[in-house]
Structure 1
Amino acid sequence: MLQTSIDYSLYLVTGRELLPQGKDYLQSLEESLEGGVTVVQIREKKAETAEFLDIASKSKDICARYNVPLLINDRIDIALAVGADGVHIGQTDMPVSIARKLLPKDSIIGVSCNTIEELEMAIKDGADYVGIGAVYATQTKDLVKPLVGVRGVGSMLRLLDGTSIKAVAIGGINLKNVLRTLHGTVSETGHALDGIAVVSAIVTSINPRQAAADLAEIIREFKKGPSLTRGLSISTNGYTVDTIINSITTLMKSIRILNPLIHQITNNVVTTQSANVTIALGASPIMATTADEMSDLAEICGALLVNIGTLTPPAYAGMLKAGFHVNALKKPVVFDPVGVGATEFRKKVVKDLLDKWQATVIKGNAGELAALVGSNEVASKGVDTAGEGFKDPVLFVKTLARRERCIIVLTGKTDYISDGHTCAILNNGHQFLGEITGSGCATGSCIASYCAVASLLARADRKMGAIPGQLVEGDMFVAAIAGLLVFNVAAEFAAVRGDVKGPGTFFPALVDELASLTPEKVVRRVKIQIV
């Protein structure tokens, strides 16, 4: 079998000890292959040689009937004895160079990698593929090394640019998080996983055929489907100012008809203001943080806003579960990493959250987004930006959007929004927004509200719900622009009202203007560039 023809999409690692009671190993393996498993690795850490040989030989016969390559974990002698297609070796096993000498020509050799250094060595040694992990905590193997995490895999994949080495992720991957894994691990250069490796997600199932088929469908749709963030209705010619304005007009008219429920886990300081802004737009707010109700709320909300301004333990637990459940239902998640650069604790929380679930939109000021990527180009002061902004904000937001696989919104005197390909530059707003508490938080509420509408409209158009390969349907790029633009234009109208004397009287007027704002007013005021 030529190595270039191998499909690593759904890589099964066996584990007989995990089989449901009464389920035969060989029957389970065959059903898994029928469901769509594309590579099989036999892992028998406790079996004696004779037993291992028997299991491997019978497994080889079954895999051969489905033209699926069989790999043996660690034991080159077993691989040679049964004529396996190759081996998978760990960091403490036989070196690749020696394994290559012992195995037949064109044998497949895979290597487990947990760090950049291990991956660099695997590349140097000439591995055919690498297994990167563990991505999540797993009960099938005692972990002696730290979790790589979803976003950590993406940074490692960059090293494979320009090589022919394939990559699969492994460790705790299952039906609930496989889509997050596929999307979240794509590097900023666009390098994606060639597949995912699973153990218990299939082996523990009483119906391994269906378990494999469900995973295979998601992987297949991800590989052939549209980009995570680009809308389904955008022409191949890309975005123009006119198409964006027309779409925003549609969103503004639709929000008051659809009245989506927006679940907001947000800063305690601005809960009331954010709720009032949401209502003024035509959406409905629900402010809830208790982890036990996140599954139910995900079912009924149109979008989720996670704002880490107030990081209490209950709120953090709620954030972890809320994003996970909303992802599972393929609804938008807007993330506001407020003050992420202020403390190491906030940095850790943000990393944990983004490893747990996929954000649809990440919004922040220059200091916050710089801290998110570990850049020293812009400093932060608490929740504010200190000093000048980025030298090239367009390049920054495009790069970050590709890295995080989501829409990036950089707020400031000038706002920048990017999907990784296109950048919108907005110059609406008023200085009073910077003189009141919670204007940035309220902006997040606006963005989440329009993301919900865009998602609902797209689902209604397709009449079939979200397809497996997408976390969210609808144009989140335009929705994010709409949220910023509507909020900032309303601020312009509010600031010049006769009853507004300064920041103290400005916010009530802003809510009034949001409630009465029409698409026609926005179109007259919009200041937008597309680059």
Structure 2
Amino acid sequence: MVEVDYSLYLVTGRDLLPPGKSLKGGVTLVQIREKHADTGEFLEIARQSQAICKKYSVPILINDRIDIALAIKADGVHLGQSDMPISIARSLLPPGSIIGKTCNTPEHIRKAIEEGADYVGLGPVWGTKTKDVKHPLLGPRGIARLLAGLEGTDVKSVAIAGIKSTNVLHCLHGSVSSGGRCLDGVAVVSDIVASLDPLSAAKKLATIIGAFKSSSTQSIFSLGAGGYTVDGVKNAAASILTSVRKYSPLVHQITNNVVMNQSANVTIALGASPIMAASPEEQEDLSKVTGGLLINFGTIESLEGMMAAGKNANITRKPVVFDPVGVGATRYRRSSANDLLNAWQPTVIKGNAAELGALANSQEVQAKGVDSLGSGFANPAKFVRDLARAERCIIVLTGVTDWISDGETVIKLSNGNPLLGRITGSGCIVGTSVATFCAGASLTAAEARSTNAHEDARLVRGDMLLAAVAGVLAITIASEYAALNARGSGTFLPALIDELGSLTEEKLVASANVEIVSC
């Protein structure tokens, strides 16, 4: 069989013939899907489509209809769960024909492998107007779980439903199994064919897909170069503090109303500027001018705004910090978190043991409202590493000891003071600080790219692992200094804000208790 490139798989139909320009733009495979056409109509559409595909040397598949595939000598067929079994299709088609199968569940995957499918179509990822979606939406996280069933096989995979240029990177990046199995491509319909400029639409998609496939993000979870040292981590964190004060980034925060005031004051004390805006109508414009985004859903007052903010931050490539406050407390919080994480890709997820345990479906730690019960995880280093791999982002586990991982490196931080646990929203202001430092690192990277400055490689790449470390250290180190002069929790919070304002690189490096651990 000829090697097939599944990268950009165009699915088309009666009124959506694949324009030659879209194939010229980078489409690598075409499927003709006609659920309601008469045989004669389907045959004519298939012939016209094949003529265009041959011109650009793009393989053509027929959905369901073996007779049409045989009549035009198509390269293969795509079969649904209710269509002809693969074994019978294989016996009717010429040797070497491509046969794909739609799969919505792990059982579908298992059966498709047994039957000898060449590839599987996984979905639906998101909702779509081009097809009646009968199965639950999976999102990238659901696709990742299905991909686990393909580990150790040569069966290829494409995701389908609702994929377009604005979310294709999230789909590719988020749809990776715990064992590192990635998608081989994505199936697209309306984003190309319904476009007024199909050539540009196809080129845009092909460029994003190509960049993902050529990058290290498929196999390396770290956003930096790895090989960290304790001194290197401390110095880099201190440098990001300087970047925050140099750029004074605008940090957009959709947060709970309990902590808005102290979160704003913490942002200002660190040297950045806060803006709190939750209306969905504002998110597109805000994403263009802010340095980073924090979404803290402690009181979940504008889920629609959170949805829009994260999507637009992804589009403008701004770091997104997600703080799923009390996520394990109710079914609504769990379902809301799932919806948000499938709608956009977080850069960092920060939470306490109960919150992160709920996201990971772990039973090790129980929740009491927004607090954690019990002694914590038996192996926190392994937990944060594994969750970072599953969620494809940086994980910050807060507590008496803080644990941070990008899926490869695990960093243990041992700063802080017990008074942090005696003020409202101490965890929330850690999220604020992490978002602020991520914004500072991101702006450093943007300037480095524009000036070709020869700075530290990790900062040039906007290393979010180091930014997360810096954000946690800023709060915990400042708390130690604040506790020296505080008479109790009532005087501790203003003292903490004062100490954040006077925090220096030297203080941070001298006070930071950092350990790089293995698990």
- Normalising by structure 2, we get a TM-score of 0.96
* Contact residue 22 and residue 198 of structure 2 kept, 8 A: yes
Q: Is the 8 A contact 1:188 1:404 kept in 2?
A: no
1:165 to 134, 155, 160: 155
Equivalence map 1:203-352=2 (5 Å): 203-227=193-217, 230-231=222-223, 234=225, 238-312=227-301, 315-352=302-339
* Match in the other structure for 1:102: 92
Partner SS, residue 253 of structure 2: strand
The residue that corresponds to 1:483 in the other structure is 471
Q: Which amino acid aligns with 1:255?
A: V
Q: Distance in 1 between matches of 2:14 and 2:283?
A: 35
In structure 1, the residue matched to 2:50 is: 60
Segment drifting more, 341-350 vs 183-192: 183-192
1:44 aligns with 2:34: yes
Distance 1:401 1:229 in 2: 8
| Residue 499 of structure 2 corresponds to residue 513 of structure 1 | yes
Q: 1:474 aligns to what?
A: 462
d(CA) in 2 for partners of 1:265 and 1:77? Answer: 55
Aligned to 1:408: 395
Identity %: 57
For residue 356 of structure 1, what is the aligned residue in structure 2? 343
User: In 2, are the aligned partners of 1:39 and 1:68 still within 8 Å (CA)?
Assistant: yes
Instruction: Flag structure 1 segments of 5+ consecutive residues without an equivalent.
Output: 20-24, 466-471
Q: Measure, in 2, the Cα distance between the counterparts of 1:77 and 1:15.
A: 17
Contact 1:251/1:454, CA 8 A, preserved across alignment = yes
Contact in 2 for aligned 1:230/1:474 (Cα 8 Å) = no
Q: Is the 8 A contact 2:221 2:407 kept in 1?
A: no
Does 2:438 match 1:451?
A: yes
Contact 1:229 1:360 in 2 (8 A): no
Cα deviation, residue 190, structure 1: 1.2
Correspondent of 1:88 among 78, 96, 110:
78
Does the 8 A contact of 1:229 with 1:475 survive in 2? no
Does structure 2 conserve the Cα–Cα contact (< 8 Å) formed by 1:307 and 1:337? yes
2:364 to 377, 385, 388: 377
- Per the TM alignment, residue 172 of structure 1 is displaced from its structure 2 partner at its CA by 0.7
**Contact 1:188–1:400 (CA under 8 A) maintained in structure 2:** no
CA deviation profile, 1:378-408 (whole Å, cap 9, x unmatched) = 1111100011211111111111101111000
TM superposition shift of 1:309:
0.4
SS in 2 for 1:127: coil
Query: Which of 457, 476, 482 pairs up with 1:494?
Result: 482
User: SS where residue 355 of structure 2 aligns?
Assistant: helix
Q: CA 1:464–1:119 in 2, change beyond 3 Å: closer, same or farther?
A: farther
1:435 matched to which residue of 2? Answer: 422
1:395 corresponds, among 382, 388, 398, to 382
Report whether the alignment pairs 1:78 with 2:68: yes
Q: 1:464: how far off?
A: 8.7
Q: Any idea what the Cα deviations from partners look like across 1:259-293, whole Å, max 9, x if unmatched?
A: 00000011110110111011000010011111111
1:485 partner amino acid: L
User: Which residue in the other structure is 1:469 paired with?
Assistant: none
| Contact 2:329–2:368, Cα closer than 8 Å, also in 1 | yes
**Per-residue deviation at 1:360?**
0.2
After alignment, is 56-65 or 260-269 more displaced?
A: 56-65
Kept in 2, the 8 Å contact 1:302–1:452? The answer is yes
Counterpart secondary structure, 1:16: coil
Relative to the length of structure 1, the TM-score reads 0.93
Return the offset for 1:229: 6.2
Equivalence for 2:448: 461
- 1-side partners of 2:211 and 2:32: how far apart? 27
Q: What do the CA deviations read for 1:159-189 (whole angstroms, capped 9, x no partner)?
A: 1000000110000101111111111111222
Number of residues of Structure 1 aligned to a counterpart in Structure 2: 508
2:120 counterpart letter in structure 1: V
- Partner residue of 2:4 out of 3, 6, 17: 6
Output the CA distance in 2 between the equivalents of 1:144 and 1:510.
Answer: 53
